Amino acid sequence: MPRVTYIEHGGKRHAIEVPVGDSVMRGAVYNGVPGIDADCGGECACATCHVYVDQAWLARTGAPGDMERSMLACGADTRPNSRLACQIRVTEALDGLVVSLPDGQH
């Protein structure tokens, strides 16, 4: 199973095996990684699963879609590597993915 590493804002790392087809958001929520709220349940509608994708993985996670870009435009502390974790689908090619969490979801 692909492994995704979540780095909390304070630096704590969680390496989690996430089934292919699940979102990076679900991988965190189902495994109790703190710092991802996902209020809307994965509808790309709340921006409370905001993550920063490690630079080395940006090409493989792809670019955000239109709605995701709209939601990120409203977020606090968004950067060029910001994504909504509910919109990143886990594949074998993402085995080893590293994402960092912001200081809070909002």
Which residues sit at the interface with other proteins, rule CB under 8 A? 37, 39-41, 43-48, 67, 70-71, 73-77, 102-106
Helix (H) or strand (E) holding 16: strand 13-17
C-alpha dist (Å) from residue 73 to 32, 46, 51, 94, 98: 27, 12, 14, 25, 23
Q: Quick check: 87 and 23 in contact, CB under 8 A?
A: yes
> Minimal distance in Å, beta carbon 91 to other proteins?
25
* Nearer of residues 19 and 34 to other proteins, judged by Cβ: 34
Q: Nearest approach, Cβ of 61 to other proteins (angstroms)?
A: 22
Smaller CB distance to other proteins: residue 29 or 94?
A: 29
8 vs 95, which CB is nearer to other proteins?
A: 8
| Residue closer to other proteins (CB basis): 75 or 96 | 75
Work out how close the CB of 4 gets to other proteins at its nearest, in angstroms, rounded to a whole number: 21
Decide: helix, strand or coil at residue 5. strand
Residue 23: helix, strand or coil by DSSP? strand
